[in-house]
């Protein structure tokens, strides 16, 4: 995500709602992505959080008054507007929503918003009855039609003591939508299916065979493809991750479940990316009840699971097929063998827990555990024989590099 937002000029617009305190955390998060952040606030927002807080967090003056004397403040709303890559209006009250929808500019924030030409993300937050008021709904519809991005408020307890829709979403979710606004839509109208995570092959109701895949790589790919405008289906094994926004997420437990979900989803799709660490075998018999401990040894007979990717490769139409290979040795040989055998366009190779001899990435201190980490060091092997060694990078970033290569195909 960082490379999309890094060095961008982001303005956070803050209007007078109780959720204004959450904007401090949002500012911190956006700054952590190495973006330049400035704040424009309404007079009323200052009753909830003092502008000094935002000044200290952003390290920049906060714009609150178009008639402020001194410096170059008279034209600040124009100057800032011209140099802004995206605006996040959080929280957006019914009042500021009404002003933008109707072209009213009577304070620093509304004047600034009228002057910007970049994408504007609006995050309404208010009491449920106010949010459901016909006039507010009408204004939000106008904003959508006018090309503003709206992040719907979530349901939950509200500051006024009631419960319902109106809460400002978590800053992480707002950041995710900000990245969406900034991302080029080079996968628009593309249908992408991604698989992620491990599968579980049950031995009995309380035990299973699995692997340590966290699902982070597959989720990062699904999120990146959605940010780039694709229509994404994510088929996921059991993981502890939040489903990406605006992605159809289908859960699968066993390899068999995953096979069914994949074959149900791939019709008419353009790109299939199989990140999942699918179990190759399942117990031949699954005990209906918990197996009780006995005195001697027990034997588990394993039966082969269907190789989903192999079958997709056999029946390949015009779509692009991408596989993953986590190997403990002979990465190049094993990955290239899978690339050919499974009829893939790209295979992403990872050497798990070992250094790669014979090239300059990877040393004893930089082993690549892959599973569960936020970073990954991968090698792309292409159908035409090309190989691309990548440095250690965040999985979010690797997802975008992979999508770049897929786009180039």
Q: Which residues are part of the catalytic machinery?
A: 160
**Residues touching ligand CTP, count (CB under 6 A):** 14
Q: Which is nearer to ligand CTP, 93 or 254 (CB)?
A: 254
The answer to the question of residue 254 lying near ligand CTP (CB under 6 A) is no
Binds ligand CTP by CB under 6 A, chosen from 324, 371, 380, 381? 324
Nearer to ligand CTP, 1 or 346 (CB): 346
CB of 373 to ligand CTP, least distance (A): 18
354 binds ligand CTP (CB under 6 A): no
Distance in angstroms (rounded) separating the CA atoms of residues 373 and 270: 29
Tell which one of 39, 309, 339, 398 touches ligand CTP (CB under 6 A): 309
Is 305 a residue that touches ligand CTP (CB under 6 A)? yes
183 versus 347: smaller Cβ distance to ligand CTP: 347
Shortest Å distance, C-beta 43 to ligand CTP: 56
Nearer to ligand CTP, 12 or 261 (CB): 261
Look at residues 217, 269, 245, 272 and name the one whose alpha carbon lies nearest to residue 401: 217
Q: How far is the CB of 83 from ligand CTP (least distance, A)?
A: 44
Residue 132 to residue 126: CA distance in whole angstroms: 10
Residue identified by tokens 């003591």 is 161
The residue within the footprint of ligand CTP, chosen from 278, 331, 351, 378 (CB under 6 A), is: 278
221 binds ligand CTP (CB under 6 A): no
CB of 312 to ligand CTP, least distance (A): 7
SS3 270: coil
CB atoms within 10 A of CB 205: 12
Q: Is 184 exposed, middle or buried (0-12, 13-18, 19+ CB in 10 A)?
A: exposed
CB of 400 to ligand CTP, least distance (A): 19
Q: Which of 57, 269, 272, 276 binds ligand CTP (CB under 6 A)?
A: 276
Question: For ligand CTP, which is the closer residue by CB, 36 or 350?
Answer: 350
325 binds ligand CTP (CB under 6 A): yes
Cα 169 from Cα 150, distance rounded (Å): 12
> What are the residues facing 14 on neighbouring strands?
41
Min dist CB 114 to ligand CTP, Å, is: 50
Cβ neighbors of 133 (< 8 A, separation 6 or more) are: 94
User: What is the rounded CA–CA span in Å between residue 373 and residue 213?
Assistant: 10
User: Residue 64 in contact with residue 46, Cβ under 8 Å?
Assistant: yes
- Closer CB to ligand CTP, residue 177 or residue 338? 338
Measured at the CA of 175, the angle between CA 173 and CA 177, to 5 degrees, comes to 75
User: Quick one: which H or E segment has residue 117?
Assistant: none
Using a 10 angstrom Cβ sphere, with 0-12 exposed, 13-18 middle and 19 or more buried, the burial of residue 25 is middle
Q: Is residue 150 within the footprint of ligand CTP (CB under 6 A)?
A: no
H or E stretch covering 274: strand 271-274
The residue (of 183 and 312) whose beta carbon lies closer to ligand CTP is: 312
Query: Which tokens is 321 given?
Result: 């097929």
Rounded CA gap, 167 and 185, in Å? 29
Q: Is 242 helix (H, G, I), strand (E, B) or coil?
A: coil
Among 121, 221, 266, 308, binds ligand CTP (CB under 6 A): 308
Judged by CB under 6 A, which stretch of 35-43, 44-52, 73-81, 306-314 contacts ligand CTP?
306-314
Dihedral, 198, 308, 305, 200 alpha carbons, nearest 10: 20
Rounded least distance, CB 141 to ligand CTP, Å? 43
Residue numbers at the binding site for ligand CTP (CB under 6 A) = 255, 274, 276, 278, 280, 305, 307-309, 323-326, 338
């Amino acid at each position: 995500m960082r490379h999309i937002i890094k060095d961008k000029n982001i303005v956070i617009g803050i209007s007078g709602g109780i959720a204004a305190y959450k904007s401090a955390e949002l500012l911190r998060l956006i700054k952590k992505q190495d973006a330049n952040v400035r704040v424009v606030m309404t007079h009323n927002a200052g009753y909830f959080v003092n502008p000094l807080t935002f000044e200290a967090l952003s390290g920049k003056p906060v714009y609150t008054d178009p008639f402020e004397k001194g410096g170059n403040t008279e034209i600040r709303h124009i100057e800032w507007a011209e140099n802004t890559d995206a605006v996040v209006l959080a929280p957006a009250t019914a009042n500021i929503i009404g002003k933008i929808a109707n072209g009213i500019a009577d304070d620093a924030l509304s004047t600034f918003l009228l002057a910007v030409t970049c994408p504007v993300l609006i995050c309404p937050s208010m009491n449920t009855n106010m949010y459901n008021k016909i006039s507010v709904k009408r204004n939000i519809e106008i904003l959508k039609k006018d090309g503003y991005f709206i992040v719907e408020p979530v349901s939950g307890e509200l500051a006024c003591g009631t419960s319902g829709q109106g809460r400002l979403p978590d800053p992480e979710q707002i950041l995710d939508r900000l990245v969406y606004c900034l991302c080029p839509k080079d996968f628009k109208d593309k249908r992408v299916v991604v698989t992620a995570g491990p599968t579980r092959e049950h031995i009995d109701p309380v035990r299973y065979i699995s692997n340590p895949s966290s699902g982070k790589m597959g989720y990062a790919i699904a999120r990146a493809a959605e940010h780039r405008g694709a229509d994404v289906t994510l088929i996921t094994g059991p993981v502890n991750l939040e489903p990406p926004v605006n992605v159809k997420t289908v859960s699968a437990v066993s390899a068999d479940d995953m096979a069914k979900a994949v074959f149900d989803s791939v019709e008419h799709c353009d790109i299939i990316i199989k990140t999942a660490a699918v179990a190759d075998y399942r117990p031949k018999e699954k005990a209906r009840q918990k197996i009780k401990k006995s005195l001697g040894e027990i034997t588990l007979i394993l039966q082969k699971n269907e190789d989903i990717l192999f079958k997709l490769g056999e029946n390949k139409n015009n779509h692009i097929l991408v596989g993953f290979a986590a190997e403990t040795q002979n990465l190049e040989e094993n990955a290239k063998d899978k690339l050919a055998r499974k009829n893939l366009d790209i295979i992403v190779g990872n050497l798990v827990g070992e250094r790669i001899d014979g090239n300059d990435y990877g040393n004893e201190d930089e082993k690549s555990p892959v599973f569960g980490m936020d970073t990954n060091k991968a090698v792309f092997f292409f159908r035409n024989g090309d190989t691309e060694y990548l440095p250690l990078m965040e999985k979010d970033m690797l997802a975008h590099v992979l999508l770049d290569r897929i786009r180039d195909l």
